[in-house]
Amino acid sequence: MRSYSLIAPAKINLYLEIIGDRPDGYHELSMVLQSIDLADQIDLRPLGTDRIRVRCTHPQVPQDKSNLAARAAELMAAQFPNTFAQYGGVEITIHKRIPVAAGLAGGSTNAAAVLVGLNLLWNLGLTQSELQELAARLGSDVPFCIAGGTAIATGRGDQLSSLPSLERLYVVLGKYRSLTVFTPWAYQTYRQQFGGSYTAKPQNLASRASGVHSGPMVRAIIQADGVQIGQRLHNDLERVVLPAYPQVLQLREAINSPGVLGAMMSGSGPTVFGLCESYNQAQQVKTAVKVALPDPDLDLWLARFSSKGIQVASSKQILG
């Protein structure tokens, strides 16, 4: 038996458009997602029992069955009961670096790492698309987190088309540590306030969603045009989150300093990112934001765009 350490990158949204209501209660979305090299490490270790155990020292991360990483392992165990019986349970240790409830898919990428890791640990031989099918049952962002890189995501966010990778861009990320925004709240509030403008006919949903393929953001990505990407950043959820959280708006304004290609909230927030053409520039922006907003509750990070999803960092043969 082996143990595995996996790298689970965060994502940012470069584009998020809400198109309408879906029959399953979710929203039909049109998004462009991007992996960044701010990542958690997930260690998987076989246990001699039939238990699935989660360990994490971060106070906001649950260690019980509500943790999405634990649910990913439960899903694999239910899907492959004979393999689970043969190999036994697993201990999942989450080394948290991605901020929690931040709009960066931290929980989703941990679940994706568990799917990829158990596929290896249990010698299942599942393909990436088979893993992504299981991933969609756990959450809308989990399929993207498996493959990572740059991708268009439509439907609930789980219908993916990959785009050319954009590795030479950097982001400054900012989040108030004590501030969390719950994704269901953001979407429900959006529906209450702007649901009247949704596409009403179900047949229009798919064609509107697929419009992103030929839209200006995708064109800018194909041309690797950082300036255009910065100008085309768009997130409909800013319309509900920014008015409710003036701190986030203020942070967005501070990050959108001279030289930044564009600044926006990621996903349902409250993390804000500023797009930069070089590491040095990103560092200068980080320093300027620290001076402009000297709040000890404000955390800032630098990250680079990444073309990778879940990766195996190391693997060890263990007894048993």
Q: Which of residues 13-32 bind ligand C5P (CB under 6 A)?
A: 26-27, 29
Residue with Cβ nearer ligand C5P (17 or 141) = 141
Among candidate residues 40, 43, 141, 158, the one labeled active-site is 141
- In this chain, which stretch among 84-92, 135-143, 246-254, 287-295 interacts with ligand C5P, using CB under 6 A? 135-143
| Whether the Cβ atoms of residue 95 and residue 27 lie closer than 8 Å to each other | no
What's the closest the beta carbon of residue 156 comes to ligand C5P, in angstroms? 4
Beta carbon of residue 31, minimum distance to ligand C5P (angstroms, whole number): 9
Among 20, 99, 106, 139, binds ligand C5P (CB under 6 A): 139
Q: Check if 290 is active-site.
A: no
Site for ligand C5P in 163-222 (CB under 6 A): 183-184, 187
Q: How far is the CB of 188 from ligand C5P (least distance, A)?
A: 6
Instruction: Verify binding: residue 141, ligand C5P, rule CB under 6 A.
Output: yes
Least distance in Å: CB of 281 to ligand C5P?
A: 32
CB nearer ligand C5P, residue 11 or residue 286: 11
CA–CA distances in Å: residue 162 to residues 34, 73, 105, 159, 303: 10, 26, 18, 10, 21
Q: Please state the three-class secondary structure of the chain as a single string.
A: CEEEEEEEEEEEEEEEEEEEECCCCCEEEEEEEEEEEEEEEEEEEECCCCCEEEECCCCCCCCCCCCHHHHHHHHHHHHCHHHHHHHCCEEEEEECCCCCCCCCCHHHHHHHHHHHHHHHHCCCCCCHHHHHHHHHCCCCCHHHHHHCCEEEEEECCCEEEECCCCCCCEEEEEEECCCCCCHHHHHHHHHHHHHHHCCCCHHHHHHHHHHHHHCHHHHHHHCCCHHHHHHHCEECCHHHHHHHCHHHHHHHHHHCCCCCCEEEECCCCCCEEEEECCHHHHHHHHHHHHHHCCCCCEEEEEEEEECCCCEEEEEEECCC
Contact segment (CB under 6 A) with ligand C5P among 42-50, 139-147, 221-229, 306-314 equals 139-147
Among 106, 98, 34, which Cα is nearest to 262's?
A: 34
Of 134-142, 210-218, 253-261, 303-311, the window that binds ligand C5P (rule: CB under 6 A) is: 134-142
CB of 132 to ligand C5P, least distance (A): 14
Yes or no: say if 285 and 279 are a contact pair by the CB < 8 Å rule: no
Q: Which is nearer to ligand C5P, 155 or 230 (CB)?
A: 155
| Residue number, 40 or 43, with CB nearest to ligand C5P | 40
Q: Reply yes or no on whether 201 is catalytic.
A: no
Of 107 and 226, the one with the shorter C-beta distance to ligand C5P is 107
Whichever of 139 and 226 has its CB closer to ligand C5P, that residue is 139
Q: How far is the CB of 212 from ligand C5P (least distance, A)?
A: 14
157 binds ligand C5P (CB under 6 A): yes
The footprint of ligand C5P (CB under 6 A) covers 26-27, 29, 139-141, 156-157, 183-184, 187
- What is the set of active-site residues? 11, 141
